[in-house]
Structure 1
Amino acid sequence: MRSRMNRSYKGRTLELLAPAGTMAILEALADSGTDAFYVGGKSLNMRLHRRDLNFSGDELVAAGGLCREKGLRLYVTVNKLMGDDDLAEAPGYLEFLARDVRPDAILVQDMAIPAIVAQRRLGLAMHASVMMNAHDLPGIRALAALGFSRVVMSRESSLADCMRLGEASGMELEYFAHGDLCATHGSQCLYSGMLFGQSSNRGLCMKPCRWPFKATMGGRLYGSGFPLAVRDMCLYLDLQAAADSGISSFKLEGRMRSADYLRPIISAYAGSLDRLVASDGVASDGVASAGVASAGSASSGVSRAGIAGSAELPVETTVPYDPRIGYEALFANRMRDFTTAFAYGRPGSSMLNKRWEGTGKFYSSGKVFSHAAEEPGASPADAAHISKILRSSAVRARPGQSGGRSRPQLAVRVDGTALAGAAFEAGADVAIISGEPLRPLAGAAGIAPFVPIADLESLRKRHPDKIVCLALPRMLEDDDYPAWEQTLRERAGLFDELYVTQLGSDDAFRHLAPRLSGDSSLNILNKAAAATWAGRGLSSVCASIEAGAADLVALVSGSPVPVELIAHGRPTAMYIGLDLASYVANLPPSDPAGAVDGVARDRALAFGTDVIVLIDEHGSPHPVVRDCRDKYHLLPTKAIALLPLAPALIELGVARFRIDCALYDEPTIRALCSGWRAALDGADPASLAMPGEIEGSWFSGLRPSGLRPSSLKSGVSGPGAGKELR
C-alpha cells in the first residue's frame, strides 16, 4: 500500500488522479498505484447518463473512509452547471459532503458553488473544473480570490502556459494526461443542449462532435468523415516535460469506464511516475523524454526540450528514466489513436482520429451516443405551453429590470459600426460590437478585433441617445490583455458598456469601462451565479442559451441585476480552437454530380463560400465561421426565433432582447430590428412580417432552441437518439 504524498519530484509532490464511476470500481482500483480518486454523487456532476454509475450518499461516505484508510485522496465532483432545481439541492448536498464524506476537495464549474461554500462556512477545499476554462493569469487569480486552491487547466493550455501561469500565480495545477478529449473549449459546447435538451455542461452530452459529416469549404464538396472527432490525450511519453512545467496532478479520464479498462492505464502511468521520481529527472543513456516523439502526437513543433530542460541533465545516474518503458502495451491496447493535443501548441490535422472507436461510439459496446437529428420546430401547443411556464412566476419586472426604461431594450450583436448604425436606424437601442469579428476563409487577413476610433466617434455623433457596447473576445489569452487595455483607454468616452466574456477580464478592465455586462459565454443559468457576478460589478447578465423556461423564470425573477436574452439569430453552438480548415481538407473527395451530394452541396452553399459548412447524416448544414483570431464558431442550422414568445418574456421581465447577427446582411438586420421593435412596443407578433431564414428557424413550429422546458420530451428527436444510453 502506498502512503499519501510520497511522489516527490524536484521538491514538489506529484499526484496521479484516477476516476471511479462506482464504489465497486474504486474498491477494485484502490491498490492500483493511484494517489487519488475523483468520483461523483447521483446528481450535480458531469457524468449523469447512466443510472448504474455514480455514488449514493452511503457509498460516498464509504469511499471517504476507504480512501483515508488507504492513504489516498478523494475528490468529489460537484461540477454541473446548476439550474434552479440543482440550486435548491446544492446547499444540503454540500453540507452532507463537508460533514459526512470529508473529501479532500470538490470540483466546481458553477459560480454559485463558491458563494454557498463561503456563506455556510463549510470548509470544503475547491478545485476549478476544466469546465471553468482556466487558461490565463487574471482568471486564475480571480479563482484564487474566490477560494480555489487548484485549477484543472484548459485543454487548450500548453505545457509552456502551465509553467508560466503556475510560477506567476502560485496556484496548484492539474492537467488531463490521458483519455477522451472534446473538440471545443471547456463549457463552450452548447449544441447538445440546444438540440436534444441534453446539456454537455450538465452531464448529459450527446456528442454531436462525433457524428460523421460531409463538408463544403471554398465552394468545394468533401466526402464523409469525422472532422470534429479528435484522438485521445496521451502524455505518457511526455510526463517529464509535464512535471517540469509545474503540473502537480496528472488526471486520467474515464468515470464511465470499467475497472478492467482503467487498471492497465493507471498501472502504466503509476509505474512511469515512480521511475521519474526515482530518477529525479535524469534520463537514461541516450533517451531524454523531452526528445521522444509520441505516436500520434500533434505537436506544433514547439520543442519539448524547451519545457523539460533536458540539455542541462547530468550524463550519469544510477536510476535513469526511460519514458518508453510500458508504452508499447499502452499503445497496442488503445481504443482511439493518441495525441498530445495542445501540450506543445495548437495541433494540426494529425489530431484527427481515424480509428473506429473514435467515431462517437462507446468503448464498451461500440454503440453510438446519438444520431444526427434535424433541429426541431415546435407546435402552437408547445408555444402556448412555454408561454404558460414563462408567465408562472409571481414576480414581475422590478424597477431596474428593464434598465430604467419604460420598455425592454432591443440589442444587436454586430461586427462593426456600419451595421450598428443600420440597427439603430431600424429601432435598436443597444449595439454590441464584437471583439472577434468574423473573417472570410479567403482573404481579409487584416481584420482586427478593435473597432476604429473614427468609426466609433461617427456612430456616437449620429446616434447620441443610443447605447454603444464593446465586447471582448470569447477567450482572452494573457497576451491579449495589454492590447485591450490600450484599446479601451483610447476609446474612453466612446462606449457605454463593456461585455466581459470570462472570469478575470472583469477585474482587468473594470476601471476602464463605464459599466460591465456579462456576455453569453459566462453561461449564467441561475440566480445565485447572477448574484456572484453582480457582486463582481456586472450591471447586467446574459442568460445561458441552454436555459430552459423554468430556469429562465427563476433567473429573471431572482437576479439582482437585469437579465438579457438572446432572442433571435445564430449564437455560437460550439467554440473550437482547433484548425478546422485543415481537418476538413483531410476529408475524402466527394462526387458533386451525385444526386444526394448535389442536394447537400446546394443546401450548404446557401450559406456562401466564405464559411465552412458541415453536413450531417440527416442532410442538415451546419455553418462554421472563422473569426479574426482564427477560432471557429459552429452555428445552428436554423436561426433562433423567439418572437411569438415576446409577450410572455416581456411580462416575465427580460430587460434586453438580443439579436445575434452572424451571417446577416444589412437589409436583414434592418428588417429584424424593425419587427422586434414593434413587438417590444406591444404589437401582436403574429401580425409582423419577418425576413425569411436560410433553412428556416427553430420557431417554424414555435419551439425555441435554448428555451425548452424539461417537460417537452420531443426535443430528443431523430432516429435512435439516446437509445443506447438506457
Structure 2
Amino acid sequence: MEVKELELLAPAGKWETLEVAVENGADAVYLGGKRFNMRLLRPDFNFLDDEIRDAVSFCHEHEVRVYVTVNNLYFEPELDELSDYLAFLAEAGVDAFIVQDLAVVQLVRELAINVPLHASVQMGVANLEAARLLEKHGFSRVILSKNVSLQEVGEIHAGTSLGLEYFVHGDLCISHAGQCYMSSFIFGESSNRGRCRKPCRWRYEIRPAGEKYLGKHYFLAHKDLCLAAYLAELVAAGVTSFKVEGRMREPEYVGFLIRQYRQALDEVLAGNMERNFSVEQELSRRRVRDYTTGSIFGVPGEESIGYSGEREPHFPTRPIRLKPLTPEDYRDMPETGQVNPPRLSVKVGGIYAFRSVLDKGIDALIIGGESFRGQEESWTPGALAEAVELGRENHVAVVMETPRVIAQRDLSRVGELLARPEMRDLHAVMVNDLGCLQMARELGLPVWAGYGLNTSNSRAVSQLGYMGVSRVTASLELKFAELQSMAERVSLGLEVVVHGPLCGIITDYCPVRSTCGWPDDTPCLAACANTEYSLLDEYGQEYALRTDDRCRTHIYYPHDLCLFTYLPVLAETGVTSVRVEGQHYRPEVLARVVDLYQSALQQLRKGRWDVKRDYLELLKIFPGGLTRYPLLRGEKLDQGIMIRGECQ
C-alpha cells in the first residue's frame, strides 16, 4: 500500500463545520441529512437537501469527497421515502453512502444507483468473513468495529481488497456496535437508530449475590478514543481512512481536531513511522473526557473507564423506576374463531434442558450460542453432537445458533464447529453476524438470521434472502405496529421472540475483574464463575452480569420479556413462529414455561382464549419480574386493535 492513498475523514454537522474541516485539511467529510441518519436528536444539526447539493459542489471544488450517512435502521413505513432520498443523493453526486441497514443495499440494487457503499461501524464488522460477504454484495469499504485490534485489522486486510476505515478519535460505547439495546429497553429510544439515552453513563453499584456492594462508580463510562500517536501502526495494519468522530461538535472544535490529525497524518505521509505523542499532548489540553487507546492493543481494562464521572460533560438521563407486569395487567382477547397460530421455537442452554423439552411438540430447538461461566450446563462440542443426534432420532428440528459477537479471533473456533460432520444433520444454523452467514453458506448449511442482525423491515429481509437466509428473527426493538407492517410484506419465515431474558449490552470490558482489584497484567481468577454479580442503579434495580466463555460481559435488563397474553394479536400478523429464549432457565422451569406457551397456542388453534390462570402462574415462576417492552411500549391493545396510548 502506498501512503498517498491515506484519507483523513472529518465530521460535519453544520455548514460552518464543513468549511472548517476542508480548510484544515480533511480529505473527505461525512455528513447527514435531516432524515434517515443516526444523529437526529438535535434539530439544529444536519443538512437540508439543498445544503447537501451545495456541500457536494463546495467540497468537490476543493477536491474533497462527501460521504452521506444513510446509517439508520429503517421501519417499513419509511422505505418509500428512503428510496426517493437515495435517488436524490445519487443525483446530487455524493461520493458514498454510509450504510447500516441491509434494506439500503436492496434498494440501491433495485434503483440501479451507482454510488459506493461503505459499511457503517453499526454493522459491527469485526472479522474477515463479514468483510468478504459485504465485498461480494457491492461494498467498497468497511468501517471496522471499534473493538478490532491492530492484529485483527491486519488479518482482515490480508484477506480482502476492501478499503478499511477506522475511528481514531471520539466517543466510545461500552457495548459492541449494533448490540446495545439497553436504551431501547428502558426508554424506547434505540441506540441503533441514533437515539441513545446513555444508561451506560449512569453511576452503578456492583454487587456479588448475597454480599455487600463493592463500590459505586461509573463502571460503564468509557473514556474517549485518541489514536493520534498510533496512525503509523494503523497504516501498517492496512487502514486507509482515519475517521474523526464529532458531527454534533461545534465548528471551532472540529477545526482544531482536524488540524491536529492533519499534522499527525502528514508525518506518516512523509515517511515518519515512529510514534509521536506531540499531537496527542496538544489534543489532551482540550479533551472532554480522558483518553484511551480503545481496543487496538487488545481488550481494554479498567484504565479505559472514567470511574469517577468527573469529566463527563453531560448526563442526558437518570434511571427510572421500571414497572414489571402485575396480575392487573392481564387483558382478555376476543375469541375470533380458529386461527393458524405461529409455531414455537425454544432456545435451550444445555443438554439437560434440551432433553426436558424434547417431547413437547416444539417446531425447532435452538442450541449453541454463547456458553456462560457459572451456569449449571453449557454447550460443549460433545453436547452439541448429542443434541443433533437426539433431534434426528426424534424427528425434531435442531437449529444451532452462533454467538452475537464474532471477532476475528473467534472465527477459527466457529468455523471448525460448523464444519463438523454432525452439523450436516442440523435443520439450520442461526447466525447473528455476517461473518457466520458467509461461513455457513460456503459450507452449504441452511441459514436462519438471529435478532443480532437487527432486521427491521421487509427490504432487509429480502436482502438476507438474497444472501441465502430462509428465516429471519425480527429485531427486538420493533414496536407492534412496525412489526405488523413488516410481517405483511415479508416473503421469508419471520420469527418473534416472546419470552426470555433481555440482554441489553455486550462488552469486552469486565467490570467484575476491575472491582476485584486485580491488575490488568495478572491472570484472571474468574470470580464470575463462582459468584453471580449485578449492577444496581440508584433505585436498586438489578442488571445481571453474565460472562461468556470468551470473557465478554453480557448485561441484562432487570425483567424478562413476556408477551404471553398477546399471542392472539401476534398470530393475526402472520408471523411464522414465536420463540422462548430459555437458555438461562433450569430444565424444570423451562419445561413448565414451554407447557404454558404450547397450551396457549393450542387454544388459538381451537378458537378459544382463556389463559389468565397460566399468566398468573408465569408471574409466580418469575418473581424477579416480567415485561412486555419493547414490543408493546407506547401502545395498548383493545379487542385486538392497535391503539396509540400509554403502556406502563
Measured after TM superposition, the shift of residue 332 of structure 1 is 2.1
Contact 1:412 1:420 in 2 (8 A): no
Partner of 1:671: 592
The letter of the residue matching 1:527 is S
Deviation for aligned residue 1:583: 3.2
Spell out the pairing of 1:598-617 with structure 2 (5 A cutoff): 610-617=531-538
Alpha-carbon distance in structure 2 between the residues aligned to 1:257 and 1:454: 53
Q: Which amino acid is the alignment partner of residue 335 of structure 1?
A: V
Q: Does 1:340 align with 2:293?
A: yes
**Pairwise CA distance, 1:630:** 1.4
Q: Name the residue aligned to 1:433.
A: 367
Which residue does 1:706 correspond to in 2?
A: 631
Match for 2:172: what amino acid?
A: L
One-letter amino acid of the counterpart of residue 573, structure 1: G
**AA at the equivalent of 2:152:** D
Aligned to 2:512: 581
Question: Is 2:152 aligned against 1:227?
Answer: no
Letter in 1 for 2:288: M
Q: Distance in 1 between matches of 2:323 and 2:159?
A: 48
Partner of 1:144: 135
Paired residue secondary structure (2:406)? coil
- Aligned twin of 1:660: 581
Q: Equivalent residue of 1:675, what SS?
A: helix
Query: Is 1:415–1:438's contact at 8 Å kept on the other side of the alignment?
Result: no
Q: Does 1:532 align with 2:487?
A: no
- Which residue of structure 2 lines up, in the alignment, with residue 117 of structure 1? 108
* 5+ residue gaps, structure 2: 519-527, 604-608, 636-642
Distance in 2, matches of 1:281 and 1:570, equals 51
TM-aligned CA distance change 1:484 to 1:457, over 3 Å: same
Match of 2:612 among 677, 680, 686: 686
Range moving further from structure 2, 659-668 or 642-651 = 659-668
Structure 1 residue 180, shift from structure 2 partner: 0.3
Say if 2:350 is the partner of 1:416: yes
Q: Any conservation in 2 of the 1:98–1:122 contact (CA below 8 Å)?
A: yes
8 Å CA contact 2:324–2:625 kept in 1: the answer is no
Whether the 8 Å CA contact 1:417–1:459 is kept in 2: the answer is no
In 1: Cα distance, 2:464 partner to 2:634 partner? 25
1:97 aligns with 2:89: yes
CA distance in 2, matches of 1:449, 1:259: 54
Q: CA deviation at 1:454?
A: 5.6
Cα distance in 2 between the residues matched to 1:511 and 1:35: 38
- Cα pair distance change 1:216/1:662, threshold 3 Å: farther
Rounded Cα–Cα distance in structure 2 between residues aligned with 1:480 and 1:256: 35
Equivalent residue of 1:545, what SS? coil
Match in the other structure for 2:21: 29
Counterpart in 1 of 2:146?
A: 155
Is residue 209–residue 534 contact of structure 2 (8 Å, CA) maintained in 1? no
SS of 2:225's equivalent in the other structure is: strand
Tell me what 1:313 maps to: none
1:132/1:186 contact within 8 Å kept: yes
The whole-number CA distance in structure 2 between the counterparts of 1:383 and 1:64 is 55
Conserved? CA contact 1:447–1:628, under 8 Å: no
Change (3 A) 1:380 1:266: farther
Q: Give the 3 Å change call, closer, same or farther, for CA 327–458 of structure 1 in structure 2.
A: closer
**Equivalent residue in structure 2 for 1:542, among 454, 461, 473:** 473
For residues 156 and 45 of structure 1, what CA distance do their matches in structure 2 show? 22
Report the secondary structure of 1:326's partner residue.
Answer: helix
Cross-structure match for 2:201: 210
Residues 491-506 of structure 1 mapped to structure 2, 5 A cutoff: 491-506=422-437
Q: Deviation at 1:149? A: 0.7
Q: 1:36 to 1:467 in 2, by over 3 A?
A: same
Q: Deviations over 1:169-196 (max 9, x none)?
A: 0111110001100111110001111221
Report whether the alignment pairs 1:196 with 2:201.
no
Cα 1:458/1:78, change in 2 over 3 Å? closer
Q: What does residue range 440-451 of structure 1 map to in structure 2 within 5 Å? A: 440=374, 449-451=380-382
Provide, for residues 209-256 of structure 1, a one-character-per-residue CA deviation record: whole Å limited to 9, x for no partner: 111100113654222101111110010111111122211111111111
CA offset digits 1:286-340 (Å, max 9, x no partner)? xx31xxxxxxxxxxxxxxxxxxxxxxxxxxxxxxxxx133332211221111111
Structure 2 counterpart SS, 1:684 = coil
- Aligned equivalents of 2:90, 2:384: Cα separation in 1: 53
1:685 corresponds to which letter in structure 2? V
What's the CA shift for 1:425?
3.7
C-alpha separation between the residues in 1 aligned to 2:598 and 2:35? 42
Offset at 1:530?
Answer: 0.7
Could you list the runs of 5+ residues in structure 1 that have no partner in the other structure? 1-8, 283-287, 290-322, 363-367, 398-405, 588-606, 718-726
Superposed CA deviations along residues 59-79 of structure 1, whole A, max 9, x for unmatched, are: 111111111122211111000
Cα RMSD after superposing both structures: 2.8
Shift of 1:447: 6.1
**Conserved? CA contact 1:499–1:516, under 8 Å:** yes
Which residue in 2 is equivalent to 1:635? 556
Name the SS of the counterpart of 1:87 in structure 2.
helix
Q: How far 1:383 sits from its partner (Å)?
A: 8.4
**Cα displacement string for residues 625-670 of structure 1 (whole angstroms, at most 9, x for unaligned residues):** 1112211111110111101111111121122111112432122211
Q: Which residue of 2 aligns with 1:562?
A: 493
Q: 2:279 aligns with which of 314, 322, 326?
A: 326
Is 1:264 the counterpart of 2:271? The answer is: no
1:340-394 Cα shifts (integer Å, max 9, x gaps): 11101112111111464654x43xxxxx211112334579999879x99xx9xxx
One-letter amino acid matched to 1:484: V
Counterpart selection for 1:129 from 120, 123, 126: 120
Code of the residue aligned with 2:470 in structure 1: it is: S
In structure 2, give the amino acid aligned to 1:333: R
2-side partners of 1:33 and 1:713: how far apart? 51
Deviations 1:446-487 (A, max 9, x none): 9665353662266337x6132211111222234544443443
CA contact (8 A) 1:15 1:249 kept: yes
Aligned to 2:454: 523
Aligned mate of 1:351, from 291, 298, 304: 304
Distance in 1 of aligned mates of 2:389 and 2:433: 30
Displacement of 1:621 after TM fit? 0.5
Code of the residue aligned with 1:372 in structure 2: it is P
TM superposition score normalised by structure 2:
0.90
Give the whole-Å Cα distance in 1 for the aligned partners of 2:384 and 2:451.
Answer: 26
Distance 1:65 1:713, change over 3 A: farther
User: Whole-Å Cα distance in 2 between the matches of residues 78 and 714 of structure 1?
Assistant: 31
The number of aligned residues is 620
User: Kindly, what percent of the aligned residue pairs are identical?
Assistant: 31
Q: Distance in 2 between matches of 1:74 and 1:130?
A: 17
* Equivalent position SS for 2:484: helix
CA spacing shift, 1:18–1:492, aligned 2, 3 Å: closer
Partner residue in 2 for 1:317: none
- Offset at 1:571? 3.0
Conservation of the 8 A alpha-carbon contact between 1:218 and 1:609: no
Give the residue type in structure 1 aligned to 2:597.
W
Report the more deviating stretch, 268-277 or 106-115.
268-277
Determine the C-alpha separation between the residues in 1 that align with 2:25 and 2:564: 57
CA, structure 1 residues 453+44, in 2 after alignment: closer, same or farther (shift >3 Å)?
A: closer
